[in-house]
Amino acid sequence: MMNIGAIIRKYREKENLTQKEFSADVDITSTYLSAIENGRKEPSLSLIKKICEILGTPSEVLFWDAFEVDDALQGDDKKIVEMAKIIIKNYYETVNKNCVKT
């Protein structure tokens, strides 16, 4: 299961952006952004791409962060998926830091 809206909110708040500011940057209404963040609407892939550009976060990180590990997955399998989420996020954060330095 994925909760992309909650992750968008998390990253937006991390950047200290209000829904009004962020929705203007992404060129959608704050009402639509609220519906996305609260799971009532699903953003299109093109909108996700634009959101990621504004947030400076690769879409891969956003998707992996939004992926919720099913409770049916247990033991080592669950640990592997959780570790993969961390590895993806750390990898892209490292790549972004290196790109800024060069």
* CATH number for the domain harbouring residue 77: 1.10.260.40
Backbone angles phi, psi at 29, to 5 degrees: -80, 155
Provide the token pair at 95: 């790549």
> How many residues does the structure list for the chain?
102
Question: Quick one: pLDDT at residue 8?
Answer: 96
What is the extent of the structural domain holding 27?
Answer: 4-101
Question: Quick one: pLDDT at residue 82?
Answer: 79
Tell me how far apart the alpha carbons of residues 70 and 2 are, in angstroms, rounded to a whole number.
10
Q: What's the structural domain count of the chain? A: 1
Contacts of 53 (CB under 8 A, 6+ apart): none
Its pTM stands at: 0.74
State the burial class of residue 101 (Cβ atoms within 10 Å of its Cβ: 0-12, 13-18, 19+): exposed
Question: Quick one: pLDDT at residue 95?
Answer: 65
Tens place of pLDDT for every residue, the chain, 102 residues?
578 999 999 999 999 999 999 999 999 999 999 999 999 999 999 999 999 999 988 888 888 878 777 777 788 887 887 788 778 777 777 766 655 544
Instruction: Give the residue from 47, 5, 57 showing the smallest Cα distance to 25.
Output: 47
